[in-house]
Amino acid sequence: MDITHLPSHDHPVVRHVTPAHTLRWLKMGYKDFKRAPADCAFYGIIFVLMGFFLAFYFDQAPEYVITFSTIFLLAGPFLALGLYDVARQLEAFGGRVNLMHTITSWRVNMPAFTLYAALLTVLVFGWFRVSLLMFALFFEGPLPSLDQVVSASFTVDNIGFLVAYFGTGFFFALLVYAISAVSIPMMLDKEIDTISAMVTSLVAVYKNLLTMLLWAAIIVAMTVIGFLTYYVGLLFLIPIVALASWHAYRDLIAYELDQ
């Protein structure tokens, strides 16, 4: 079973959607999860294992805990590519899903996904270096323990650290979200290049700013809930968010045939 790309000369057109659409996306994502629970759980387990990996290896290094947790959020759209393909197959074939096809779905547009991965790596590395710089600027001596960071950060003397650290983190997260909101499902669905997909994603976010900010807040909230449930919640929440994001792409982007 395979799903071919639609003609590459289709021209993407950004639609306007209301904040109420976010609830519809979640409902459709949940519906897709129920239609292919085993396939979705496969990816959910991967996210749960990632959560435990972060907790186990970086418990004593807060700069890595925070940074890699940020990476978890930044890389989410790319890591959820297989789940986008689950939604795409359900849309095309009903209840039949080829799990192996979802695992190798990046091959349908390899040049575009390769460049996207490279650009994402640059952004994540940039945030990694900036986060280390923040600790070097605001904490003297060796890198502090997690308890020291928590106890020292939320004080009047270290308000500058909180503003600088979370301000830069918010900027990086917002940038990645804006260029990824619809670009990943678009590159999966169409034979489109990375830059065109990213630009379209930026336009979609800009033209639907309130809706997309609400959607971003929902994604963050569901991810945080997943972490607060000792990562077990990620088994269900991340697949639902990813499946819902496919439907967000469908509502946000239409295609017109170039003459």
Give 253's pLDDT tier (boundaries 50, 70, 90): very high
Torsion sign across C-alpha atoms 89, 240, 165, 181:
positive
In a domain, 115, yes or no: yes
Average pLDDT over every residue of 6-23:
84
User: What is the Cα–Cα distance from 217 to 221, expressed in whole angstroms?
Assistant: 6
In a domain, 168, yes or no: yes
Average pLDDT over every residue of 208-233:
93
Condensed to tens digits (0 to 9), the pLDDT of residues 217-227 reads 999 999 899 98
Per DSSP, the three-state class of 171 is helix
In a domain, 5, yes or no: no
In a domain, 2, yes or no: no
Condensed to tens digits (0 to 9), the pLDDT of residues 134-174 reads 777 776 666 555 555 556 556 656 677 777 777 888 888 89
The number of domains in the chain is: 1
Classify residue 141 by its DSSP letter: S
* pLDDT for 60 beyond 80: no
Residue 191, CA atoms < 13 Å, CB-side half-sphere: 9
Per DSSP, the three-state class of 12 is strand
In a domain, 91, yes or no: yes
CA 194 centroid distance within chain: 16
* pLDDT for 185 beyond 90: yes
Torsion sign across C-alpha atoms 29, 118, 111, 173:
positive
User: What is the Cα–Cα distance from 192 to 112, expressed in whole angstroms?
Assistant: 7
Which structural domain, as residue segments, surrounds residue 169? Answer: 10-254
In a domain, 259, yes or no: no
Question: Quick one: pLDDT at residue 6?
Answer: 47
Average pLDDT over every residue of 130-137:
76
How many helices (H) and strands (E) would you count in the chain?
13, 2
> Which pair of tokens denotes residue 167?
């301000």
Cβ atoms < 10 Å from Cβ of 129: 11
Question: Quick one: pLDDT at residue 104?
Answer: 92
pTM of the model: 0.84
Per DSSP, the three-state class of 210 is helix
In a domain, 4, yes or no: no
Q: Are 65 and 58 in contact (CB under 8 A)?
A: yes
In a domain, 164, yes or no: yes
Give 27's pLDDT tier (boundaries 50, 70, 90): very high
Least confident of 40-49, 111-120, 157-166: 157-166
Question: Quick one: pLDDT at residue 244?
Answer: 97
